Structure 1
């Protein structure tokens, strides 16, 4: 989709934000409320109150990128509302972005082979 597989850490902000905020307002929210660095290259995803829109910001090394998506129908699936962020895998992010229930996708665990 947008990002190479496993190249970015992706965080969902669990509380709805004011969707009048642009990239600078969302970056300030990341610093002040989420206590993370918006210029770290991590992806931060925010939801609207109705959960039918999302905004993402990411620092790509040259500038701050803002992506805004509105989904038609039932809306995006979000974690329960609480203060903070939830880290998701790139596969879970892809499902969320497509409007699927990302919670049903298990994160792959790396198993090392065992010599017998």
Structure 2
């Protein structure tokens, strides 16, 4: 279970994100597309189009933090968004489940680069 400070909310973008974006690009998406304040201390979750990469953005006391997870095989089980909805509110338990539940049926192992 994820332990978050009191009052922290988790917002998942309903649409896939260009994962070349880093903190500044993601914060612009939070403000423009999600209609939220990126420096609010809330967590903002973005998935790639293939759903094999997730990036989480949040603001701590003095700067942006990003956390990424890329799957070697499979895809994250991302809930279907409601039409017209830019972001989905998640509970900490739901985010923990999203990060651990993977669809294996379409799993393709990445090639290792040496």
Q: Which TM class, normalised by the smaller chain length?
A: 0.7 to 0.9
Distance of aligned partners of 1:42 and 1:5 in 2 relative to their CA distance in 1, 3 Å threshold? closer
RMSD: 1.9
Q: Give 1:89's match in structure 2, choosing from 66, 84, 91.
A: 91
Provide the rounded CA distance (Å) in 2 between the counterparts of 1:90 and 1:100: 17
TM-score normalized with structure 2 length? 0.78
| Unmatched runs of 5 consecutive residues or more in structure 1 | 102-116
Query: Based on CA coordinates, which of the two structures has the bigger radius of gyration?
Result: 1
| Unmatched runs of 5 consecutive residues or more in structure 2 | 104-114
Q: SS in structure 2 opposite 1:39?
A: helix
Runs of 4+, deviation exceeding 6 Å: none
Deviations along 1:48-89, whole A, 9 cap, x unmatched?
010000011001122110111102322101122554111111
Provide the rounded CA distance (Å) in 2 between the counterparts of 1:98 and 1:72: 13
Equivalenced residue count is 100
Provide the rounded CA distance (Å) in 1 between the counterparts of 2:95 and 2:39: 20
TM-score normalized with structure 1 length? 0.77
CA contact (8 A) 1:6 1:90 kept: no
- Paired position in structure 1 for 2:112: none
